[in-house]
Every structure is written in structure tokens, then in C-alpha cells.
Amino acid sequence: MMNVSKRGNARLLASGLLLLAVFSSIGSFGHAAVSLPVQHDSLALTVNPDRSVGVAWNTTSSLGTLTQNVSSYFTPGYAIHSSSSFSQQSSAVVQTSTIQYQLPPPAVSIFNSISLTATQTGLTGSGSLMITTNVPTSTITATFSTSPTRVKVNATVQLHFSPAFFGGTFLANQTVFQTEWNRTFGNVTWTDRIASQIQNATVHFVTVTAFNGTLTSIDSNQATVSIGFVAVPSQTGTDFVTVLENILTPFGGVGLDPIIRSALNLQTGETVNLTYNGSTYTLTLQSTTTYVSDLDDQVNKLKTQYLQPLLAVFPAGTAPASLVFISATSIIINQMSTTSDLDLSAGTSSTSLKGLVLKPQTFGSNTNFTIPGLFQTIGKSPTPGVNFTLIGGSDSSNQVKIVVPADTRQPNSTTSNSATWTNLQDASTLSAVEFQVQPLPNSFLAFLVSPVGIGIEAIVAIAVIAAVVLYMAKRRATKSSIPSMSGPTPSLGLGLNPAPPAP
């Protein structure tokens, strides 16, 4: 379970690094890879005065032909809900995630409870799992630990036989269970073959050093067994990161080792809890992951580290525009959140993303600019297209005005600070849209440049000048009225000559 969680975090970081979580899902190379007929897609980009771009994406899909293939296996009431959010804290960025499986009421309630607790940091972690069943009562407990050079799992299972409930299976009675055990875990040839299959799947970069089972006790009612598993890297002095790079090398994974290690170092800790409520038939997986406090800076460094070798492959000026744009764009994920809902019985799904902020390359000035690379990277979307909205953001002093050139497709609807295109199939056609930063009507800056503000400024300037003149005149008058410390006191008359001294 922890390995699944770790891979999920790696995928999330990779999606953030490459922005594919947003653009490839709605662009030309997103839906093309999966033939799911999308019913509604909407993308809103908020362009702020500091030239950053906030991203909000929503999609509601029908699984189409896939529904016919899988919905018959899921009775009404089977739904999966997931949510994930990042928050910036003083000493870390924290991601909280929840996945909830709502199961339909079963004909017979098999599971009483499922509980998993685990912690992980980098490649080092540990955890425990406990499962109890109702009919018949059985218990499964397992512990696991991971390190950079070893994965170890130990499990103990107590199983109760039931001809009525498990008829036709290896849990029907003692005889069939003993026969099945002797064929599998009680057979060294079988366990060696399973270990060999695992090693083949990893191109022999992983060695299974232990895979065995022990039948601790058995009688006509129950059996207790224990199972152990240990795997290590095949090459001495290597760890599982090296193993992963070696496995990916034939697929162009050369040079990923430092990137993978740097990505793992971004995570400072993770806790996972899984519970099952036997009365509501709800399975809930919750995780809390902490990252370094400067996660955004580190992710952008990793993005550059990953993309620079890719860009170097292309001759000057020939790299795909989307790759160039992504390389030149910084991302901020520390306030990002996502939600998704999947109803396998109805064959519908919905996903939303918000809080992702891009700092793309812009052209023009700080107050009048375009972002062509953004629209070109989003690219084309399949029919019926995307409901695409541009929003002019604001701060305490300024707001962004959206200006659509006359030779560009005009929006289907507008508000004072937004423009919306319905069923837009090619976002690159909006590359010439301009964004003008203007003072807010009620801001102090707007007031200063208004006619009334200029008039008041002139009056204030005159008053200041008058005050300065009066102050200087007063100082001169004060200095001229001070009596001299030697010689006769000057006359206060208007003549040019001093009055004669008194006899």
C-alpha cells in the first residue's frame, strides 16, 4: 500500500512538473490517447496584475462504450470519491488526501473491519494491516517495512472453514485447504516460480531472497498460516532508485537517478490510514504528506533539471512550442486542490482542479502583455470543445482588462472582467488576446490620475508652496528683529540711515 502511495505522489509531482495534469487532459494529446466521449469540459484562467495565471479546470465525462463493458459488474451504489489539497505552512507544505470507496450493500457482509496504518519517508517506511471477516470469522494481520535496500513483509492469517459459505473453494474444509496448501506455499517449486516471475518482471535488478509460507496449525475448523517475503536490489551497493533507473533505461530513462532522488528528498514524511466501516460499507484511505517549505522553488528546479536535456536534443529553434513554454513557466502548487468522483455503475465521472498558479513567459510590457505560449500549449480539444473563460484578476491597486483583437474569435459572453468562449476547439486561436493592467476605479492610484485628483493635487501643491514661502518669510522677519549684542540698536523707522544717538 505504501508503494502505491509513493507512486501516487511521484505521479502528482511529475504532473505538476510538466503541467500535464492540466493541459494534456484538455489539449490535443490528452483525449486523443483515451477514447472517452467527454460531455462537459471547462477551463478558467485568471490573469493577475503580476502576470501570474490561476488555473481552474472542471470536467464531467461519460465512460461511453467502456460503460457497456464494466457497468454490469458494478451494482448501483458503487462510487469512488477522492480529494487532495496542498497548504503552505510556516515550516512545510502539507498535502492531505482522501479516497473513499462507497460500496453497495452486499448480499452477505463479509468484511467486518479493515485497518491500515503506515508511515513513510523517502524509501524508508513501515506499517501494519489488519482485516477481520464476519462469515466465517477470520483474521489477517501483516506488517511491512521498507528501506532503500530491502522490502520485507510478514503476514499471519487465521482462516475458518465453512462448507456452506465457501463451498467449492479451498476454504470449504480441512481436506481441500490442505491439498491447496501443499500445491502452493507448501511446494518449494511453486514459491520459487513466483519469486522468479517477480525477478523477471524487474529485469533481474531485484532479487527475492525469501518467499515462503508456514502452516502453523490446522484442524477441522480452522488453519493458521504465516507468510514471509523479502526483496533486495540484485547489484551490491545499489538501492531501489538505481533499480528503477536501470529498469527505465531501455525506455529512455537515462539520467533519472539524481532527479528521482531529488524528488524523494522533497518529501519529509507521510502517514497513511485505511479503514473500513462494516455498517456503512465505506472504505476510506487518508494520507498526510509533508514536503519541504520551499516546495515550489524545488519543484521548478527539478522541472528545469528534467527539461533542459530534452530541449538540448532539438536544434536551435525547432523544439516544440509547448515544451519551450513549460520550460519557461514557473508553477506554484502550494495551494492546489483536486477532487474527483467516479460512478462505475452509471458510467460517469467528474474531476475538478483549482489553486494551481502559473508564472509564464509574457510578451509586451508590465501593463500590456500577451501570453501566446499558454494558448498554444493548451492547443486543440476534441468535439465539442472546451468552455473556455479568461478572467481579469485584481489586487489592492490594479485590475486586468481583457482585450480581444478584432481579427480573433469573439467570446460568446462577457462580463466586466471576463470573456467566455463556448465549445472552443483550438485555444491557440486566442494567442493574440491582450491583458491590460489598469488602476482600480476606487484605488488611490486611480484617484491620483483622475481629473478631480489632479485638481486636488494642484491645490495641495499651491498650499504647500504658500506654506513654504510664509515660513521662509517668517524666519527672515524673526532674524531681522533680534537685537545686536554690540553697538547701537538699529532704528525701527523706514529711513535708510540709523537715528542719531540720544544726548
Please give the average per-residue pLDDT across 71-87, as a whole number.
Answer: 80
Q: What is the distance between the alpha carbons of residues 380 and 244, in angstroms, rounded to a whole number?
A: 34
Task: Report which residue type is found at 418.
Answer: S
Using an 8 Å Cβ cutoff, are 17 and 10 in contact?
A: no
Question: Which among 307, 148, 303, 121 has a CA at the least distance from the CA of 237?
Answer: 148
Burial (0-12, 13-18, 19+ Cβ within 10 Å), 229: buried
User: Which stretches of 134-281 are assigned E, i.e. beta strand?
Assistant: 138-147, 150-160, 206-218, 222-233, 267-277
The rounded Cα 332 to chain-centroid distance in angstroms is 9
23 has pLDDT over 50: no
Using an 8 Å Cβ cutoff, are 304 and 327 in contact?
A: yes
| Pairing of the two strands 282-291 and 337-343 | unpaired
Question: Which among 423, 327, 435, 307 has a CA at the least distance from the CA of 373?
Answer: 327
Average pLDDT, the chain: 82
The pLDDT of residue 69? 53
Half-sphere exposure of residue 202, counting CA atoms within 13 Å on the CB side? 21
Cis upstream peptide for 136 (omega within 30°):
yes
- Residue 425, classed as helix, strand or coil, is coil
Task: Report which residue type is found at 48.
Answer: N
DSSP symbol at 430: G
Question: Which among 180, 181, 233, 240 has a CA at the least distance from the CA of 212?
Answer: 181
Q: Which three cell numbers stand for residue 104?
A: 453497495
Using an 8 Å Cβ cutoff, are 348 and 61 in contact?
A: yes
pTM for the predicted model, two decimal places: 0.73
Cβ contacts of 134 within 8 Å, gap of 6 or more: 108, 109, 110, 111, 112, 278
Handedness of CA 428, 430, 432, 436 (dihedral sign): negative
| More confident position, 458 or 15 | 458
User: In this predicted model, what pLDDT tens digit does every residue of 315-364 receive, in sequence order?
Assistant: 888 888 888 899 999 999 999 999 999 887 777 889 999 999 999 999 99
Bridge partner list, 399: 394, 438
Q: Which three cell numbers stand for residue 349?
A: 465521472
- Residue 112, classed as helix, strand or coil, is strand
**Virtual torsion, Cα 227, 103, 164, 129, nearest 10 deg:** 20
154 has pLDDT over 90: yes
Q: What is the distance between the alpha carbons of residues 32 and 28, in angstroms, rounded to a whole number?
A: 6
Using an 8 Å Cβ cutoff, are 89 and 117 in contact?
A: no
User: In this predicted model, what pLDDT tens digit does every residue of 28-71 receive, in sequence order?
Assistant: 333 333 334 445 789 999 999 999 999 999 988 876 555 555 55
Q: What is the distance between the alpha carbons of residues 390 and 434, in angstroms, rounded to a whole number?
A: 11
Bridge partner list, 332: 357
Q: What is the distance between the alpha carbons of residues 43 and 421, in angstroms, rounded to a whole number?
A: 10
| More confident position, 401 or 463 | 401
